[in-house]
Amino acid sequence: MKRLTTMFAVAIALAASPSWAREIRVPEATQSIQVAVDQAVPGDVISVGPGWWNEAIDLKGKAITLKSRAGAKTTILDGTGLSNSVLRCVTAETEKTIIDGFTITHGSGHEDLYGSSSAVGGGLLILGASPTIRNCVFQKNDVNYNGGAVYLARGAAGRFDSCTFLDNAAEKGGGVYSVQSKPVFTKCRFKTNDGRYSGGAMYNADGSLSVFEGCHFERNRAGYYGGGIYEYAGTSTLKGCIFDRNRATYKGGGVYNGYRGKSAVTNCKFLTIYDDVSGGDAPTSTAIAPNGACLLDDGACLFVSRQSCEDASGAYQGDGKTCADVASKTAARSSDLNSDGRVDDRDAMMLLLLWR
């Protein structure tokens, strides 16, 4: 009897093993990703070939892996004309629901929550779920309310690993909007996202506890506050992150702590004078990266950060080096593009705008 019991236990263990997981190939097995999701059972892998997929996909609470075979560059999930989020996790998905290796684009957001005039979550909607998202690019998603690329609410706890948020836009949270949720972002890049009101890359609201580790915030912008991150009664923990040329019309180009907002910053770099952290209990450990002389090809010299110099294809002369140390005063004066008597990051920004 003991032998039979042991054999039965082994059989159960094998049946639950990932080695038994089925692969559903798209488009070979089915032309639709949503049909593949509908057919899948826990543990299955939906393997999507390269191509352009115009679908609004609901993961339906299933512990499955949705994975591209060729990566995000050639596997595109496109929400054009669908009036919905490109992907939805709204049925208590856990970390065992995995989305891996897609470009997610042109989502206009989910309209059922607040109506068509207040769509949210252009690329991905997460409500009360905690999926894992890896190696994805959220690009050019634009909603008329909140969460251009991603909207998290109702205790969501999604994890984003090595994802890129590029050129997304919304009223609040051009990249991501989180309310009463706990998202984690590891080695993610937020670039040129737009918060028409506030929170260019991220709007963290109403008790949200967001974590950013090793993330890069570049050229995100906000119409009012928080070019990178806006905190509204939320708290963000930032470790080893880089802020580079993020802008807000008023305050907090890097981070703005609004009403009861907090940000815990550790070992982060703020590369320009625009990447300020302000409002509330703004941390004191946000020293801006040092500037130095930067020689351009035409002989002009700018006193800017290393990053700004490299962006202008200049030769950085070292931290603390002045233009007087490495170039003539005439060359330095000729680089004062805004005529304020100084040659600094503001002149570099004007130069970059002229080159666009």
What is the percent of the chain where pLDDT is above 70? 83
At 150-185, the pLDDT tens digits run: 999 999 999 999 999 999 999 999 999 999 999 999
Q: Are residues 213 and 320 in the same domain?
A: no
Gap between the Cα atoms of 101 and 140, Å rounded: 17
Under a CB-based contact definition with an 8 Å cutoff, are residues 99 and 136 in contact?
yes
Q: Report how far apart, in Å, the C-alpha atoms of 90 and of each of 60, 82, 93 are.
A: 7, 18, 7
Which amino acid, residue 170?
A: A
Token code pair at residue 243? 């802020």
Query: Taken in order 181, 186, 192, 198, is the CA torsion positive or negative?
Result: positive
Residue 27 is assigned to a structural domain of this protein = yes
Under a CB-based contact definition with an 8 Å cutoff, are residues 280 and 255 in contact?
no
Average pLDDT, the chain: 88
What pLDDT was estimated at residue 306?
A: 75
Residue 303 is assigned to a structural domain of this protein = yes
Residue 205 is assigned to a structural domain of this protein = yes
Domain limit, last residue, from 278, 307, 340:
278
Q: Are residues 250 and 197 in the same domain?
A: yes
Domain limit, last residue, from 278, 306, 328:
278
Longest dimension (CA), the chain: 96
What pLDDT was estimated at residue 98?
A: 98
Residue 35 is assigned to a structural domain of this protein = yes
Output the pTM of the full model.
Answer: 0.80
Predicted confidence band at 293 (pLDDT cuts at 50, 70, 90)? confident
Domain limit, last residue, from 227, 245, 278:
278
Residue 341 is assigned to a structural domain of this protein = yes
Gap between the Cα atoms of 301 and 124, Å rounded: 45
Lowest mean pLDDT among 47-51, 279-283, 325-329: 325-329
Under a CB-based contact definition with an 8 Å cutoff, are residues 65 and 89 in contact?
no
Residue 10 is assigned to a structural domain of this protein = no
What pLDDT was estimated at residue 15?
A: 44
- pLDDT above 50 for 8: no
Q: Are residues 336 and 239 in the same domain?
A: no
Q: Are residues 326 and 219 in the same domain?
A: no
Nearest to 171 by CA among 191, 193, 143, 151: 143
Residue 84 maps to which CATH number?
A: 2.160.20.10
What pLDDT was estimated at residue 11?
A: 46
What pLDDT was estimated at residue 338?
A: 56
At 209-237, the pLDDT tens digits run: 999 999 999 999 999 999 999 999 999 99
Q: Are residues 260 and 299 in the same domain?
A: no
Measured from the Cβ of residue 266, the count of other Cβ atoms closer than 10 Å reads 12
Predicted confidence band at 135 (pLDDT cuts at 50, 70, 90)? very high
> DSSP letters along 91-154, please?
S---TTSEEES-EEE----B-TTT-GGG-B-SSEEEES---EEES-EEES-B-SSB-SSEEEES
Strand-by-strand arrangement of the 194-198 sheet: 169-172, 194-198, 221-222, 247-248
> DSSP letters along 172-237, please?
E-SSEEEES---EEES-EEES-EEEEE-SSEEEETT-EEEEES-EEES-EESSB-SSEEEES-EEE
At 56-67, the pLDDT tens digits run: 999 999 999 999
Q: Are residues 162 and 47 in the same domain?
A: yes
Q: Are residues 238 and 157 in the same domain?
A: yes
Which amino acid, residue 133?
A: I
Residue 286 is assigned to a structural domain of this protein = no
Q: Are residues 183 and 225 in the same domain?
A: yes
Q: Are residues 58 and 197 in the same domain?
A: yes
Gap between the Cα atoms of 235 and 222, Å rounded: 19
Helix (H) or strand (E) holding 73: none
Measured from the Cβ of residue 281, the count of other Cβ atoms closer than 10 Å reads 11
Q: Are residues 262 and 305 in the same domain?
A: no
Domain housing 330: 291-355
For the chain, what is the domain count? 2
What pLDDT was estimated at residue 314?
A: 86
What pLDDT was estimated at residue 171?
A: 98
In the chain, the N- to C-terminal Cα span, in Å, equals 78
Gap between the Cα atoms of 292 and 326, Å rounded: 10
Place of tokens 């890049």: 189
Q: Are residues 297 and 192 in the same domain?
A: no
Q: Report how far apart, in Å, the C-alpha atoms of 186 and of each of 121, 159, 211, 274 are.
A: 20, 8, 8, 24
Residue 343 is assigned to a structural domain of this protein = yes
Q: Are residues 269 and 311 in the same domain?
A: no
